Structure 1
Amino acid sequence: MPTSKPKYREAAHPQVSANQLAQYLLAGPSARKRIVQSARWQSTAVVARYRLAREAIIGCLCDGTRSPTKVAAERESLIERLGKPGNSSWAKDDIESSILALDRYAASSGQTVLSKVTCKPVPGSVPPLIIADLRVKVTPDVILHQGDQVGAMVAMIAKGEKSTKVRTEQARTAAILVWQFAQKHLQKYGEVQRSLCVSYDVFEGTVTPPSANYVTRLKNIQDACEEIAAKWHTVPPPDDLES
């Protein structure tokens, strides 16, 4: 009799995603416990949304011409994929949402710093940041070049999930983490410029660099990572974890 796929996969090392860390900084005690729990016991059923939108936006940003024709081609590719038979309801919804995200990118990107820099793909696999013995997975989408200066951008793609205040705070944390990543891994491409290390909220159409109080935010991130690492081996597993 075939064995069923386990619901969870336990992480081998203390680790969180940049998004989980940003959520942790804003969460209360109970929510923080759930975040650490979900980071340690990762659901095998979770599938990342907006993957197609992210790929299309990266393709448009890294296209040297920044031509509307490229955006139109990416959009047509998504529409063709939507029309293919065999798509599940989840897949159809994800493709439709990806088309909306691409449309928002097309409407807003020319009004941001992204229109004034050269974007290039991030080469190879991306190593995690190590903060207070915690592995933080920061995955920039493109490297930004402006003369001899470099930075990076991570796209935040989520439609109307949170209040503007929460989205702004998470964007600022993401920008700080991108800056830390750039300082660690992008020095070989040029002088890392803090203002070029940004998070891009696709649906809001806003680009956020590290805020002026970045020293305080860095300290808060350090403290949060120390706390997560300390809690890692004591947080209980999910109630439905198979014995």
Structure 2
Amino acid sequence: MGITEKRYGYRANPQLSAAQIAAYLLASPTRRKSIIRDARFPKRSIVAQYSKAREGLVSFLGDGTRSLHHLVDTTDYLEKRGNRADASDWLKRDSRMSIEAVAAFQRAYNKLGFRLLDCRETPARLPALDEWAAKISVDIDVTIHVPTETGKDRIGAAILLFSRGESSEAKRIEQSKTIASLIFRFCNRFMLDRGDPDKKLCLAVDVFTGSSQGPQGQRKLDHIRDACEEIAARWDTINPPEDYDGPSPG
């Protein structure tokens, strides 16, 4: 008899993604509780949403020639995947929306300014920001490098955002600014050996709207710090979902 795949994981210590922190800052009290629950008891997923679209766009940006075959091949793969006879409704929907994401990015490519930037793919594992009460995973997609006359690059990084769940343009922009601020902080913590971090090169890219946002100042980091303290204080009080099947919370 095979082993049934668990639906949930468990984090003993407070840790969220950059996207979760960005959502938390703008959320209602009820929604904040849900975000902490999702972070403490993360759902396991065999296939992450938009993973193939992200993979294709990162390959495109990391290719110095910016060959369009990365985008064409990704779209072809997604079309075939979505049309498979055994494709689930989830797979069909993800394939369709991922194709839309690739097309949206291609339309906005010149406007986003990536054409003149040297982008490089990142290692599979990245350290988490650990200076606050809760750790924050900043899963950057590419690092950005601009040479200077001094021989030391200006550096930054970008995260591609695919969420279509937030309909408010103002909230989408604010969340992107939070994520960009975390990217800049990440560069200052972990990339100083590669060059001098530049705010202008730290980008949260909203793929579907074809726009990007840069980081804000110290006040934004203060808000993030306060949110981390609140999350850490509530972490152990948050109960698992009703269908939780992961390890027993300690």
**TM-score after normalising by structure 1:** 0.91
Query: In structure 2, what is the equivalent of residue 49 of structure 1?
Result: 49
Select which of 187, 190, 212 maps to 1:207: 212
Query: In structure 2, what is the equivalent of residue 10 of structure 1?
Result: 10
How far the C-alpha of 1:2 sits from its partner, in A, is 6.7
> Are positions 1:218 and 2:221 aligned together?
yes
Give secondary structure in 2 for the equivalent of 1:150: strand
How far the C-alpha of 1:47 sits from its partner, in A, is 4.9
> Are positions 1:117 and 2:120 aligned together?
no
Q: Provide the rounded CA distance (Å) in 2 between the counterparts of 1:79 and 1:45.
A: 21
Query: In structure 2, what is the equivalent of residue 189 of structure 1?
Result: 194
One-letter amino acid of the counterpart of residue 176, structure 2: A
Q: Provide the rounded CA distance (Å) in 2 between the counterparts of 1:132 and 1:107.
A: 38
Give secondary structure in 2 for the equivalent of 1:189: coil
Q: Percent identity?
A: 35
Residues 97-125 of structure 1: CA deviation (Å, up to 9, x unaligned):
11110000110011122222111000241
CA contact (8 A) 1:62 1:120 kept: yes
Gaps of 5+ in 1: none
CA contact (8 A) 1:200 1:206 kept: yes
CA contact (8 A) 2:52 2:74 kept: no
Taking a change above 3 Å as real, the CA distance of residues 193 and 18 of structure 1, as seen in their structure-2 partners, is same
Q: Provide the rounded CA distance (Å) in 1 between the counterparts of 2:130 and 2:75.
A: 37
CA contact (8 A) 1:113 1:207 kept: no
| Count of equivalent residues | 241
One-letter amino acid of the counterpart of residue 72, structure 2: A
Taking a change above 3 Å as real, the CA distance of residues 222 and 107 of structure 1, as seen in their structure-2 partners, is same
Select which of 194, 198, 210 maps to 2:203: 198
Taking a change above 3 Å as real, the CA distance of residues 70 and 124 of structure 1, as seen in their structure-2 partners, is closer
Q: Provide the rounded CA distance (Å) in 2 between the counterparts of 1:63 and 1:240.
A: 43
Q: Provide the rounded CA distance (Å) in 2 between the counterparts of 1:185 and 1:197.
A: 14
> Are positions 1:167 and 2:184 aligned together?
no
Taking a change above 3 Å as real, the CA distance of residues 27 and 131 of structure 1, as seen in their structure-2 partners, is farther
Residues 53-99 of structure 1: CA deviation (Å, up to 9, x unaligned):
00011011112122334432332233233344422221111111111
Query: In structure 1, what is the equivalent of residue 150 of structure 2?
Result: none
Gaps of 5+ in 2: 148-152
Query: In structure 2, what is the equivalent of residue 100 of structure 1?
Result: 100
Query: In structure 1, what is the equivalent of residue 32 of structure 2?
Result: 32
Q: Provide the rounded CA distance (Å) in 2 between the counterparts of 1:38 and 1:160.
A: 16
Q: Provide the rounded CA distance (Å) in 2 between the counterparts of 1:18 and 1:146.
A: 25
CA contact (8 A) 1:132 1:229 kept: no
Query: In structure 2, what is the equivalent of residue 233 of structure 1?
Result: 236
How far the C-alpha of 1:236 sits from its partner, in A, is 2.6
Residues 186-214 of structure 1: CA deviation (Å, up to 9, x unaligned):
11211111111110000000011113xx2
Task: Please say which of residues 4-13 and 124-133 is displaced more in the overlay.
Answer: 4-13
Q: Provide the rounded CA distance (Å) in 2 between the counterparts of 1:41 and 1:158.
A: 21
One-letter amino acid of the counterpart of residue 219, structure 2: T
**TM-score after normalising by structure 2:** 0.88
Q: Provide the rounded CA distance (Å) in 2 between the counterparts of 1:2 and 1:177.
A: 42
Query: In structure 2, what is the equivalent of residue 77 of structure 1?
Result: 77
Residues 138-186 of structure 1: CA deviation (Å, up to 9, x unaligned):
1000001111111000000123642101100110001011111111111
Q: Provide the rounded CA distance (Å) in 2 between the counterparts of 1:77 and 1:21.
A: 33
Q: Provide the rounded CA distance (Å) in 1 between the counterparts of 2:168 and 2:162.
A: 14
Q: Provide the rounded CA distance (Å) in 2 between the counterparts of 1:41 and 1:186.
A: 30
Which 4+ residue blocks in structure 1 deviate beyond 6 angstroms? Answer: none
Q: Provide the rounded CA distance (Å) in 1 between the counterparts of 2:163 and 2:223.
A: 24
Q: Provide the rounded CA distance (Å) in 2 between the counterparts of 1:75 and 1:180.
A: 34
